[in-house]
């Protein structure tokens, strides 16, 4: 070929059969312009799939490991509970610490179904550890002194309130406490509970067995209907044991034991007694912490009335523990109620029985405040009578004519100036005839201001009472009836709730049937 024949001959003779060497070629283009090496398009997909599979296997194994740790933690917790039952505090604490350590080893993604169980168990462990730590310092005095008494700004604020605007109400409540204190302390001692808990009724109800709050909580321990049923308090058309001081005290103690077991300290348990355990649990969860040092860590996030409830309770304990320090000269408590119990097999009107025995008409009612009609029901009933009067009462009952208690639940209405039976019947959604029969009235027109009538309660919403025929600015006395609230009363008399509370030294919105309120009517 021409190209070959024109090339100069090399110094060495290269055989024609050998291939000619190819000179090296250097590409002078920048690296960025260099063509990429050809890749297998299937390779990235294979590597991604392998990585995903490896990650899935790792997550699955992590979940299995976490589940196993959680099971071990639960097992350790159960062993701690068994140790507590044996009163082996050291063993219980060791097992709780072991369970807590196992939880700390768990690593879970935010969407793991085990996360909620882990958090719930951590809170439970923290509460149990706190409870044991507290009991180690107060075990010898578990009956007394186990509620810490602090004098912080909130407690001192309540003390100042008791010293001033609420002073009269506080002293009256203290005096009334004597009627029931021995009984309450006896029930607390049976369960080895702190004796300070006996003062809860002072802030709940002022020790009034028939106290009724605007939330429809009833009795000395302020049970709402559902909680009363939950702890075995009978509620029928004749009896409401929420108003029974003895039975309600036992029910309240059961409730407080459960709350203390749940939260691990008494101040938090008392807060939960006021607003319900669910509310306190929601606040604890919202804190997003596994352990809280004391009730005061929750204080700012609780409902106002509940947050105030615990400082009021502690203020009460401080005052009754050292009245002189806080400027009080407390009255002597009323003597404890002394009574016998007799089995009554027939319906008996307490007023009739009192009259025949020559007793004060309020005495039997005070002993048996749970009787809704102030009469025994039409089934066998254990009636409380003054000590030493048992046989005399039984003989008297045997001689009395049969009393037929009303078949319907009744409210009490205090007749006001301008009231008519027709207006009262419309207000309570009943009939004039029903009111006449229930009260044994001989005339449909002869009712008078101040007269107390029983009216059938149909469970409907009670309409506001008609305004009394009082001059604007006149001071009158209002007798609280079943269903009354401060808001309703304030509207009736054209005044405000705060003015009524100030005029009567009321610490809360709680009212009780028969309570007398001094009210200055507003101006139209």
pTM of the predicted protein model: 0.55
State percent of the chain over pLDDT 70: 77
> Which span out of 151-155, 435-439, 440-444 was modeled with the highest average pLDDT?
151-155
Q: Distance (Å, rounded) from C-alpha 238 to C-alpha 378?
A: 8
Q: Which of 158, 204, 241, 370 is catalytic?
A: 204
Amino acid 461: pLDDT: 32
CATH class in words for 63-141:
mainly alpha
| HSE of 72, CA atoms in CB hemisphere, 13 A | 16
The residues with which 211 forms a beta bridge, in sequence order, are 512
Spell out the domain ranges in the chain. 63-141, 153-326, 339-399, 406-463, 467-524
Q: State the Cα angle at 245 between 239 and 251, rounded to 5°.
A: 85
Quote helix, strand, coil % in the chain, to nearest 5. 50, 10, 40
For residue 34, pLDDT beyond 60:
no
Instruction: Collapse the DSSP code of 318 into the 3-class scheme (helix H, G, I; strand E, B; otherwise coil) and give the result.
Output: helix
pLDDT tens figures, 292-318: 556 676 777 777 777 788 999 999 999
Is residue 370 pLDDT above 50, yes or no?
yes
CA distance 497 to 508: 10
Measured at the CA of 190, the angle between CA 189 and CA 195, to 5 degrees, comes to 20
Note the pLDDT tens digit of each residue in 371-392: 998 999 988 999 999 999 999 9
pLDDT tens-digit map of 38-87: 555 556 666 666 666 666 666 667 777 878 888 888 888 888 888 887 87
Smallest CA-to-CA distance from 486 within 514, 456, 512, 509 is with 509
pLDDT at residue 408 in the model: 56
Q: Give the pLDDT confidence score for residue 489 in this predicted structure.
A: 85
**The pLDDT of residue 325 is above 90:** yes
pLDDT tens column, 77-112: 888 888 887 878 788 888 888 888 888 888 777 777
- Using the predicted structure, report yes or no on whether residue 469 has a pLDDT greater than 50: no
φ/ψ of residue 262, rounded to 5: -75, -45
* Nearest-angstrom CA–CA distance, 366 and 237: 19
Is pLDDT of 29 > 90?
A: no
Is residue 513's pLDDT more than 60? yes
Residues 6+ apart with CB under 8 A from 218: 210, 211, 212, 224, 225, 228, 240, 242, 243
- At residue 220, the pLDDT reads 96
Fold equal for 406-463 and 467-524: yes
The answer to which of 143-157, 253-267, 439-453 has the lowest mean pLDDT is 143-157
Query: Which pLDDT value is given to residue 181?
Result: 97
Given a cut of 70, is residue 131 above it in pLDDT? no
Q: How confident is the model at residue 456 (pLDDT cuts 50, 70, 90)?
A: confident
Q: Is 90 exceeded by the pLDDT of residue 128?
A: no
pLDDT digits (tens, 9 = 90+) for 185-244: 999 999 999 999 999 999 999 999 999 887 778 999 999 888 999 999 999 888 999 999
pLDDT, position 75: 86
Query: Would residue 60 show up in a list of annotated catalytic residues for this protein?
Result: no
If one compares 459 and 28, the residue with the highest pLDDT of the two is 28
Q: How does the average pLDDT of the chain come out, rounded?
A: 79
Superfamily of domain 467-524: LysM domain (3.10.350.10)
Q: Do residues 247 and 271 make contact, with C-beta atoms less than 8 angstroms apart? A: no
Res 30 pLDDT > 60: no
The candidate with the shortest Cα–Cα distance to 334, out of 307, 303, 306, 366, is: 366
pLDDT at 426: 80
Q: Is the pLDDT of residue 488 over 50?
A: yes
347's CB contacts (< 8 A; 6+ apart) are 375, 376, 377, 378, 402, 403, 404, 405
Residue 387, token pair as written in the block: 């000590």
Alpha helices in 264-386 (DSSP H): 266-275, 277-287, 304-321, 350-357, 361-367
Residue 472 pLDDT level (bands cut at 50, 70, 90)? low
CA–CA distance from 411 to each of 273, 457, 500 (Å)?
28, 6, 23
Q: Which CATH number fits domain 406-463: 3.20.20.80, 3.10.350.10, 3.40.30.10, 2.40.50.140?
A: 3.10.350.10
Pair type for strands 381-386 and 339-344? antiparallel
Q: Are 191 and 490 in contact (CB under 8 A)?
A: no
Model pLDDT, residue 31: 46
Over residues 395-428, the pLDDT tens digits come to 999 888 777 766 656 677 888 888 888 888 887 7
Query: Quick one: how far is CA 24 from the chain centroid?
Result: 91
Mention the CATH class of domain 153-326: mainly alpha
pLDDT of residue 268 exceeding 50: yes
pLDDT at 357 over 50: yes
Sign of CA dihedral 497, 500, 505, 509: negative
Is the per-residue pLDDT at 2 higher than 70? Answer: no
Exposure string over 116-149, b if 16+ CB within 10 A, otherwise e: ebbeebbbbbbbbbbbbebbeebeeeeeeebbee
Three-state DSSP class for 224?
coil
């Amino acid at each position: 070929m021409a190209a070959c024949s024109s090339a100069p001959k090399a110094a060495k003779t290269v055989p024609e059969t050998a291939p000619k060497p190819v000179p090296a070629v250097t590409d002078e283009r920048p690296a960025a312009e260099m063509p990429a090496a050809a890749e297998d398009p299937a390779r990235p997909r294979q590597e991604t799939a392998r990585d995903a599979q490896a990650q899935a296997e790792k997550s699955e194994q992590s979940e299995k490991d976490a589940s196993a740790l959680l099971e071990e933690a639960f097992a350790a917790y159960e062993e701690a509970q068994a140790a507590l039952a044996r009163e082996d505090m050291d063993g219980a604490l060791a097992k709780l610490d072991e369970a807590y350590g196992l939880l700390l080893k768990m690593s879970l993604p935010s969407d793991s179904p085990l996360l909620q169980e882990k958090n719930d168990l951590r809170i439970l462990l923290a509460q149990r550890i706190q409870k044991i730590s507290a009991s180690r310092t107060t075990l010898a005095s578990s009956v007394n002194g186990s509620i810490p008494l602090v004098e912080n700004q909130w407690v001192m604020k309540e003390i100042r309130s008791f010293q001033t605007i609420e002073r009269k109400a506080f002293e009256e409540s203290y005096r009334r406490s004597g009627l029931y204190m021995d009984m309450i302390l006896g029930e607390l001692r049976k369960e080895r509970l702190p004796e300070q808990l006996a003062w809860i009724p002072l802030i709940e109800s002022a020790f009034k067995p028939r106290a009724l709050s605007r939330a429809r909580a009833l009795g000395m321990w302020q049970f709402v209907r559902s909680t009363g049923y939950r702890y075995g308090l009978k509620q029928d058309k004749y009896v409401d044991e929420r108003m029974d001081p003895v039975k309600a005290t036992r029910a309240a103690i059961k409730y407080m034991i459960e709350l203390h077991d749940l939260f691990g300290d008494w101040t938090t348990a008392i807060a939960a007694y006021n607003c319900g355990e669910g509310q306190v649990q929601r606040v604890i969860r919202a804190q997003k912490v596994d352990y809280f040092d004391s009730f005061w860590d929750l204080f700012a996030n609780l409902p106002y009335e509940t947050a105030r409830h615990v400082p009021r309770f502690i203020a009460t304990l401080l005052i009754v523990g050292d009245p002189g320090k806080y400027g009080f000269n407390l009255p002597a408590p009323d003597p404890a109620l002394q009574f016998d119990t007799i089995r009554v097999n027939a319906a008996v009107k307490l007023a009739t029985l009192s009259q025949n025995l020559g007793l004060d008409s309020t005495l039997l009612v005070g002993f048996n405040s749970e009787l809704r009609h102030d009469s025994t029901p039409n089934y066998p009933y254990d009636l409380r009578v003054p000590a030493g009067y048992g046989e005399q009462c039984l003989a008297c009952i045997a001689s009395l004519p049969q009393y037929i208690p009303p078949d319907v639940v009744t409210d009490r209405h205090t007749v006001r100036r301008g009231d008519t039976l027709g207006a009262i019947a419309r207000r309570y959604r009943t009939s004039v005839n029903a009111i006449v029969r229930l009260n044994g009235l001989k005339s449909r027109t002869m009712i008078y201001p101040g007269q107390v009538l029983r009216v059938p309660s149909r469970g409907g919403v009670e309409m506001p009472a008609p305004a009394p025929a009082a001059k604007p600015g006149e001071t009158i006395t209002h007798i609280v009836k079943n269903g009354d609230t401060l808001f309703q009363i304030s509207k009736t008399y054209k005044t405000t709730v705060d003015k009524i509370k100030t005029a009567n030294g009321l610490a809360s919105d709680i009212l009780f049937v028969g309570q007398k309120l001094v009210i200055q009517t507003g101006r139209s």
